[in-house]
Amino acid sequence: MNEHKKIKLSVVDQTPVRKDSKPSIALNESVELAKFTEKIGFNRYWVSEHHNSTSFAGNSPEILIGQIASATNKIRIGSAGVMLSHYSPFKIAEEFKMLDAFYPGRIDLGIGRAPGTDRLTTEALNYPKEIINVQNEFPQMVKDLIGFTTNTLDENHKFKQINVSSGIPEETHPKIWLLGSSDYSARLAAKLGLPFSFADFFGHTHDIGPQIAKIYVEEFRPSEFLLKPKLNVALQVICAKSEEEAKYISSSRNFNKIVSTMGLKAYGFIKPEDASNWILNHNIQNNINYFTKGYIDGDPVQVKEQIIEASEKYETYDIGIVSNCYYFSDRKKSYELIANLF
């Protein structure tokens, strides 16, 4: 079998908002994109969590997952991810077990430890509680989430007697993934025997990604949920009919990224007609070159070659695709071209 035929594609959707548009439009586009990508053969559809963002509308993945699952038939739906450090593991388990009750065997619970926002918004998310020490407390939160979600809390656990859902346990439960861009998350996923998804799409992480993936695989300990490592890598990709068109479409994403890295509010994605005409100084252009170095933007031949190359570097056939741009039609076309490749 050709190596590219083994590649299984999934969608990672950050629900991008256009400048002078409404979050409600972006959220409904996520539902439409999920229906479309299910039809053309994608295996999973994950939605992200962002807070106090003017460019991404998905601040409640559990609600968006329910909307998408109700509009689709068989594609797995999940979070990429729930920022667990803000929340009670018990409550997250309740929410995702309810989703699984409605859509059994289709729900993924991806969790991350990053705040997904700025410091002040992090305080608001935790108020009036103190912000936790993530380094110290996050591992136990993940263990508790696993226990609540799968009814496997230790007998001596303080909350063992609490039922996450009433009655006999369901035959299925959400599949928990740990997401991350560092060796911390990789090592924790390996230690707990969980699947791991690496965020190569951040841009600045692609150089260290394969080494982190190797750490996960080498340190993996089998669990009752997973006997061998399961690795996904999420890539930033724009595919168009020509390389020139792909670069043009991606200018909106690049402009949005550079504005956010400068600590400014982007107020949504601007049109490529405008983004591609900005005259950038030397330092800004160098920054763009740095964070787009790992991005995959090009025609179908280029994109196929680079996705296969990433698959080989990470030694996984499980590939997630992030495609952020201004026009919804360009996003759909990019996913369609990628699906046709594999």
CB atoms within 10 A of CB 259: 16
Number of alpha carbons in the 13 Å side-chain half-sphere of residue 245? 12
Query: Which token pair is 323?
Result: 């495609």
DSSP code at position 174: P
Cβ(108)–Cβ(77) under 8 Å? yes
Predicted TM-score (pTM) of this structure: 0.95
Domain spanning 3-242+296-341, CATH class? alpha beta
Give the model's pLDDT for residue 262: 77
The low-confidence residues of the chain, meaning pLDDT below 50, are 1
pLDDT digits (tens, 9 = 90+) for 126-144: 999 888 887 789 999 999 9
Residues forming beta bridges with residue 82, ordered by sequence position: 111
Question: Rounded distance, CA 310 to CA 314, Å?
Answer: 6
Question: E strand or H helix at 111, and its extent?
Answer: strand 107-112
Q: What percent of the chain has pLDDT over 90?
A: 77
Q: What is the CA radius of gyration of the chain?
A: 20
Cβ(10)–Cβ(232) under 8 Å? yes
Give the model's pLDDT for residue 1: 47
DSSP for 163-204 reads -SSSSSPPS--PEEEEEESSHHHHHHHHHHT--EEEEGGGST
Q: Could you tell me the end-to-end alpha-carbon distance of the chain, in angstroms, rounded to an integer? A: 12
**Cis omega (within 30 of 0) for bond into 174:** no
Number of alpha carbons in the 13 Å side-chain half-sphere of residue 320? 27
Give the model's pLDDT for residue 168: 65
What does the angle CA 93 – CA 99 – CA 103 come to, to the nearest 5 degrees?
Answer: 140
Q: Which residues contact 326 (CB under 8 A, 6 or more apart)?
A: 18, 249, 252, 269, 270, 271, 272, 275
Query: Which token pair is 309?
Result: 């190359």
Question: Rounded distance, CA 73 to CA 294, Å?
Answer: 33
pLDDT digits (tens, 9 = 90+) for 161-184: 998 876 667 788 999 999 999 999
Question: Rounded distance, CA 273 to CA 59, Å?
Answer: 28
Give the model's pLDDT for residue 3: 60
**Residue 19 CA: distances (Å) to CA of 51, 248, 251:** 17, 17, 14
Location of structure tokens 């982007």: 266
Question: How many residues comprise the chain?
Answer: 342
Question: Rounded distance, CA 307 to CA 29, Å?
Answer: 25
